[in-house]
Structure 1
């Protein structure tokens, strides 16, 4: 597949040089001069603000089909890896013991209920009816558990396929999202395909997609929010170009007036921003750690708008961006996310005996008595859950400091079993069936190195794409360093893993080169990128048995434990 066409200044390579024109005004000698009148036509403004390909309609007709086929094909690959043998092992693994049973409780009652001793055995045997009437105290919001419950509603709660269907479908759809985002970000079908394939074959994402924990759902809604904000970035710049262009067309000299350029126009309701607010509300409704993404993405989209006004030639781009973009951005994202988050507790509100549901009725408050009892009870629930998270410092054999995540220092073992010799699949004296949530080393170690490259390209070349990827990684990764005493696990990193893949694809784009490069340069770059992707696929095939609970000999299992800390 050939590189997609783009302006020479923004051709497929993420490292392409920025346009030579400067925003607003240009410097000639030591004197600033205004842009010519034709710089304010809608076409010229769109070219400066967006440039290159803006949507699938801008691709040549021969490539438009590939815009949709690339994400679908890569997702099909990922779907095969995620759905085949999804019911293995036929028991609850790791934290499925909480979230799968909570999902069943949601189907029955709309809130979490308690379970008796040895409930896992009954549940795995297809008898989930042992659920107790008493409510259960949980410390995570409902969205992820509702998404697990959806799979059980479709395929039944009495089989592992039903337990894990929601996670597998969500993981597969995230591959589609990432491929589309990469195509949008890099203006390249080739790099979109690379991003989709790398996420499809990575072991960490694969394991999380085949196991019903909450983090895969958190990752999906965060990625969807990022994609919506990317769409909003182009949409906002298109609106800015059109409105400035109309103002210029109505002016005798073909330029917007000084008053119009003082802060720029209002851009109206930004529907993609509202969509991002909905996605972020669902992300926070899955895990509270999404609050950091909400803050990071909110700042990112405002910075994008400030840059757009500066490039368009608006003199008061800071004040205009804050007043006409920053405040509307806050109102489009934060209140919307808050309303969506509150709506995710509908099952709890609709119950009469969920945990802490009647707390406010038994604890009157003169200070907060004006609030409805249900709201005050939910607020108390949140305070208690926050205290739990702050004090979570129990020792665990697979706890892993955030410092070790990028280098795969201590992956989490979700399942380990030694089958009896002679049992199905075990034809040696010692066998192993395991699920280890370790990422593909080539992908993860390569991405860790690429973060440094992106930092250089963002600081030295002012490439907004590098900055966007770094902001997303930082929003998901850096906050964990604020809680050094808290027990944490490597699988938390799946929330920002797609952005690590984007960082790696960014660097592969630098190797791929630009359409303006000599033919030998482009061919050599394409061969190197293809070699990397093929090698990554081979490495994934090597590790696949320990990601999907295949029965292999103990010696083969040890052969795949590349670091002592993986055991």
Structure 2
């Protein structure tokens, strides 16, 4: 078996830090290494290699405590930057903005009544003034599962709803944690801490990620739980491969030649992934695509691992023996987490449709008559909500076509207000415009990764594109629905990882020819410098800073942004 015929092996090789020495987690592989499937490259001319920066960096990381400081200090530094950008001034504006009118108030009533409750007319302004207990006992009809709203309400339940900071605090925390996790994922996939830190930096300073962390909507939680599940799948990939190889070697040492390979039940990271993907579904139903995509991915990875172990019936072993086990480990726990998120609705009496099946006219008959009426009512609720989702076709001035999401064709304006600014009038706004250099560069990087997957079949490229596809492609089936650009936060981590992959390739290795290495370092440094500058330029539009209208207009780089 060669790397040319094994996509799981393609791309494996020693990983070196982008500016110095070997720096890898166990079993991490280098996205920048040449693959055995590549045609032989012509020998490079002799000449000096590396740079003085590489030499200096190698000396620093040769000291154990400095190496440890960099390994964890780098990810923590970009996480701290993310926290500042997400929590600084979080309570401004002190008013309900955009769809916070649903999720903030729903989260608050969940903690009081156990179900989402209705509010009287004018409740948004009253809530901001401190009248937070004017909700009714009547249920509100909502079309998203409860978990995200429980989490949004957590900050208010702990510290009160009188300050807008606590409406948004847990959402900002979710966005901050996601930056740290993206950094770790980037390091594991790209093989170096510097590559992971760059990926984390790009995610920390991007406008879409910042805005979605500063407004209490559900989608940041969708992104975080999907990313956690992605991380657990990565951890399982290495662990299950080692476990499979150990079991196969033990059988052969005992004189038995395995044909299908064992069925592995001891896979705690698969269980953990099921919890994460179940929580993702319990925030929004779009999480089902991640559960399905990475469930199939686990089966495919197992098949390639069996082939690498030399098992003759590796496909049959993966599909007939391991796939049912993986399903049992992954799907039931996801369903249990999803169902648990409805506990408040199930154990109280006031929720919408809560007693629908108590009416004999509505109750099920026949083979399913034994199902408790509460679960029958819950099923009816889901049917009604699904019909609602299919029928969302109303006009909205900030709706966007999913075909334009990768280039930010129509970012969402979530808040706008004219405010006095000395003797002039200024504007405050919150617009979900991502950093154009990150998004447009990421879109080009995705095209390159598609080419590279076809050309080299590297597993790192494949799993990045899979995360992007699970979060993005399903929306292409709903082009006639009213949808918004900010839904893209669910797949943005993988867009940034794709860009990070390309940046790691441009950086090269310390063993590259000096002129090539210097060129790579210069290109990446210039790109990162201007990316930071662009984020600083757009920051007022992401954080509702008062600015002159003429200056605000300078940020509309595409006509559709205004």
Q: Normalized against structure 1, the TM-score is what?
A: 0.88
Contact 2:363 2:373 in 1 (8 A): no
Map of 1:555 onto structure 2? 550
1:68 to 72, 79, 84: 72
1:112 to 109, 116, 119: 116
Provide Cα deviations, 1:185-237, integer angstroms capped at 9, x if missing partner: 11110111001100000000100000000000000000000000000001111
| Secondary structure of 1:434's aligned partner | strand
1:502 to 492, 497, 505: 497
Map of 2:427 onto structure 1? 432
Q: Give the distance between the partners of 2:251 and 2:311, measured in 1 at CA.
A: 13
1:324 Cα deviation after fit: 3.2
Provide Cα deviations, 1:274-312, integer angstroms capped at 9, x if missing partner: 000000000000000111111111111211111111122
1:19 Cα deviation after fit: 4.9
Map of 1:479 onto structure 2? 474
Query: CA, structure 1 residues 488+533, in 2 after alignment: closer, same or farther (shift >3 Å)?
Result: same
Q: Give the distance between the partners of 1:531 and 1:472, measured in 2 at CA.
A: 28
Map of 2:337 onto structure 1? 340
1:514 Cα deviation after fit: 3.1
Please tell me whether residue 227 in structure 1 is matched to residue 231 in structure 2: yes
1:169 to 168, 173, 180: 173
Map of 1:210 onto structure 2? 214
1:183 to 173, 182, 187: 187
Q: Give the distance between the partners of 1:171 and 1:131, measured in 2 at CA.
A: 29
1:3 Cα deviation after fit: 4.7
Q: Relative to structure 2, which stretch is displaced further, 83-92 or 300-309?
A: 300-309
1:18 Cα deviation after fit: 2.9
Query: CA, structure 1 residues 171+11, in 2 after alignment: closer, same or farther (shift >3 Å)?
Result: closer
2:450 to 451, 455, 465: 455
Map of 2:31 onto structure 1? 14
Provide Cα deviations, 1:397-435, integer angstroms capped at 9, x if missing partner: 000000111111100000011113xxxxx1352311110
Map of 1:423 onto structure 2? none
| Secondary structure of 2:557's aligned partner | coil
Contact 2:412 2:433 in 1 (8 A): yes
Map of 1:150 onto structure 2? 154
Map of 2:91 onto structure 1? 87
Contact 1:4 1:188 in 2 (8 A): no
| Secondary structure of 1:264's aligned partner | coil
| Secondary structure of 1:371's aligned partner | coil
Query: CA, structure 1 residues 248+514, in 2 after alignment: closer, same or farther (shift >3 Å)?
Result: farther
1:488 to 483, 488, 506: 483
Map of 1:292 onto structure 2? 289
Map of 1:313 onto structure 2? 310
1:562 Cα deviation after fit: 1.3
2:436 to 434, 441, 451: 441
Map of 1:326 onto structure 2? 323
| Secondary structure of 2:407's aligned partner | coil
1:87 Cα deviation after fit: 0.4
Contact 2:207 2:539 in 1 (8 A): yes
Contact 2:137 2:350 in 1 (8 A): no
Map of 1:193 onto structure 2? 197
Query: CA, structure 1 residues 364+265, in 2 after alignment: closer, same or farther (shift >3 Å)?
Result: closer
Q: Give the distance between the partners of 2:393 and 2:220, measured in 1 at CA.
A: 23
Contact 2:143 2:385 in 1 (8 A): yes
Q: Give the distance between the partners of 1:241 and 1:11, measured in 2 at CA.
A: 17
Question: What runs of 5+ residues in structure 1 fail to find an aligned partner?
Answer: 22-58, 252-256, 421-425
User: Where does 1:235-250 land on structure 2 (aligned, <5 Å)?
Assistant: 235-250=239-254
Query: CA, structure 1 residues 415+358, in 2 after alignment: closer, same or farther (shift >3 Å)?
Result: same
Provide Cα deviations, 1:34-89, integer angstroms capped at 9, x if missing partner: xxxxxxxxxxxxxxxxxxxxxxxxx9775234332222111100000000000011
1:16 Cα deviation after fit: 1.7
| Secondary structure of 1:551's aligned partner | coil
Q: Give the distance between the partners of 1:3 and 1:177, measured in 2 at CA.
A: 24
2:531 to 522, 531, 536: 536
Contact 2:446 2:465 in 1 (8 A): yes
Contact 1:12 1:515 in 2 (8 A): no
Map of 2:54 onto structure 1? none
Contact 1:432 1:552 in 2 (8 A): yes
2:268 to 267, 271, 274: 271
Contact 2:32 2:190 in 1 (8 A): no
| Secondary structure of 2:312's aligned partner | coil
Map of 1:398 onto structure 2? 398
Contact 1:4 1:190 in 2 (8 A): no
The Cα RMSD (Å) is 2.0
Query: CA, structure 1 residues 562+158, in 2 after alignment: closer, same or farther (shift >3 Å)?
Result: same
| Secondary structure of 2:406's aligned partner | coil
Q: Give the distance between the partners of 1:315 and 1:285, measured in 2 at CA.
A: 41
Q: Give the distance between the partners of 2:552 and 2:247, measured in 1 at CA.
A: 62
1:137 Cα deviation after fit: 0.6
Contact 2:28 2:188 in 1 (8 A): no
Number of matched pairs: 517
Q: Give the distance between the partners of 2:373 and 2:20, measured in 1 at CA.
A: 59
Map of 1:416 onto structure 2? 416
Q: Give the distance between the partners of 2:170 and 2:479, measured in 1 at CA.
A: 32
1:533 Cα deviation after fit: 1.7
Q: Give the distance between the partners of 1:61 and 1:306, measured in 2 at CA.
A: 40
Contact 1:167 1:210 in 2 (8 A): yes
